[in-house]
Amino acid sequence: MALGRQSYHSAGPQPPEQPLRYPSAVTITSRQNPLVGRFRDAARGGSGAVLLLDGAHLVGEAVSAGVAVQIAAVTPAAVESGELQPLVTALGEQGVEVALVSAQVMDAISPVRSSSAIVALADRPANGQAQLYQGTAPMVVIAVDVQDPGNIGAIVRVAEAAGATGVVAAGASANPFGWKALRGSMGSALRLPLVAGVTPAAAIEDARSHGCRIVATVPRDGQALFDARLSGPVAILIGGEGPGLAAEVLAAADQRVTIPMQAPVESLNAAVTAAVLLYEARRQQSAIARKRP
């Protein structure tokens, strides 16, 4: 299989499975190579249309999800070991250019502290607005001012796991397609319908127009979680770290719900809050479904 315009020949004995070999490949060793700039621009957010996928898991999830990967970079050591053979094969079958880069260049293009063996650039999935409220009982998370990318990624991950139909990152929330959030979502952001860059008011109005009850999470003085009705079409508002949901957002909700907590704990992480609410909503939905003839 071709590796870019050239290929790499691995020296030494080969494992029994005969991993991919790239005869005469040239390894990129300069941090001034234009490829480095492309990856760094994507890590900073760039135009927003290009995703930086860091690590074999995330690149593999992109391939499986049918996301259009533009280019991947891999270290010779990873190629020699054969550990990435299935993934590199899959990329090649999709016509993706795979560039060999030295460990020093990988350190420059991989944004994590301990650089990965493979990183890639991919097209951002289409806006998920049209799919957010699919089905007869949509369940959507509206994250409001959740500024930590890891929290946004974790919210997307648990939303997919709990069967939510989509996530909206509203207000000053972190970009769910930024590299940190993508790593936090472990690939869920490449599959679950997502919308970002909207105001909380617009997100709430859109949810209501699709017949959703608006449920706001509050740390205290709301209806106890296990007494709250979360079945049917619902949009769950999750506030940002620290201040939580603003007064005007709370005023727009139909219901306020509080998760019971033992003292002296006063609040939960935004992603944990989303998980608890979503799974209770799923439990209620499932209980209703079981009662139907």
Q: Is residue 3 included in any domain, yes or no?
A: no
Is residue 22 over pLDDT 60? no
**DSSP element (H, E) containing 200:** helix 200-209
Q: Is residue 21 included in any domain, yes or no?
A: no
Residue 54 phi/psi, 5° resolution?
-110, 120
Residues 243 and 109 in one domain: no
Query: How does pLDDT run across 73-95, given as a tens digit for each residue?
Result: 999 888 888 888 899 989 988 89
Q: What is the mean pLDDT of the chain?
A: 88
Q: Is residue 99 included in any domain, yes or no?
A: yes
Residues 136 and 277 in one domain: yes
* Band of residue 25 on the pLDDT scale cut at 50, 70, 90: low
Section 53-77 average pLDDT: 94
Residues 91 and 221 in one domain: no
Is residue 107 over pLDDT 50? yes
Taken as a whole, the chain contains a residue count of 293
Residues 168 and 260 in one domain: yes
We report the CATH number of the domain holding residue 100 as 3.30.1330.30
Give the pLDDT of residue 26.
75
Using the 3D structure, point to which of 62, 94, 123 is the last residue of a domain. Answer: 123
The domain tally of the chain equals 2
Using the 3D structure, point to which of 84, 108, 123 is the last residue of a domain. Answer: 123
Residues 106 and 142 in one domain: no
Please tell me which residue, 202 or 116, carries the higher pLDDT value: 202
Using the 3D structure, point to which of 64, 96, 123 is the last residue of a domain. Answer: 123
Q: Is residue 20 included in any domain, yes or no?
A: no
- Measured over the CA atoms of residue 55, residue 60, residue 65 and residue 71, the dihedral's sign is positive
Query: How does pLDDT run across 215-234, given as a tens digit for each residue?
Result: 999 998 999 999 999 999 99
Residues 62 and 138 in one domain: no
Q: Which amino acid is at 54?
A: D
Please tell me which residue, 9 or 165, carries the higher pLDDT value: 165
Q: Is residue 39 included in any domain, yes or no?
A: yes
Is residue 174 over pLDDT 50? yes
Q: Is residue 106 included in any domain, yes or no?
A: yes
Give the pLDDT of residue 293.
66
* Band of residue 9 on the pLDDT scale cut at 50, 70, 90: very low
Distance CA 176, CA 172 (A): 12
- Domain of residue 101 covers 34-123
Give the pLDDT of residue 238.
97
Residues 229 and 273 in one domain: yes
Q: Is residue 28 included in any domain, yes or no?
A: no
Distance CA 33, CA 59 (A): 22
Residues 182 and 166 in one domain: yes
Residues 88 and 178 in one domain: no
Distance CA 260, CA 253 (A): 20
Distance CA 27, CA 75 (A): 8
Q: Is residue 46 included in any domain, yes or no?
A: yes
Residues 188 and 58 in one domain: no
Residues 76 and 216 in one domain: no
**DSSP strand E in the chain: where?**
50-54, 69-74, 97-100, 118-123, 139-144, 166-170, 194-198, 213-217, 223-224, 234-239, 255-258
Is residue 132 over pLDDT 60? yes
Distance CA 175, CA 143 (A): 11
Residues 161 and 276 in one domain: yes
* Stated pTM of the model: 0.87
We report the CATH number of the domain holding residue 235 as 3.40.1280.10
DSSP string for 57-97: HHHHHHHHHT--EEEEEE-HHHHHHTTTHHHHHHHHHTT-E
Pairing label, strands 139-144, 97-100: unpaired
Percent of the residues in the chain that have a pLDDT greater than 90, as a whole number: 71
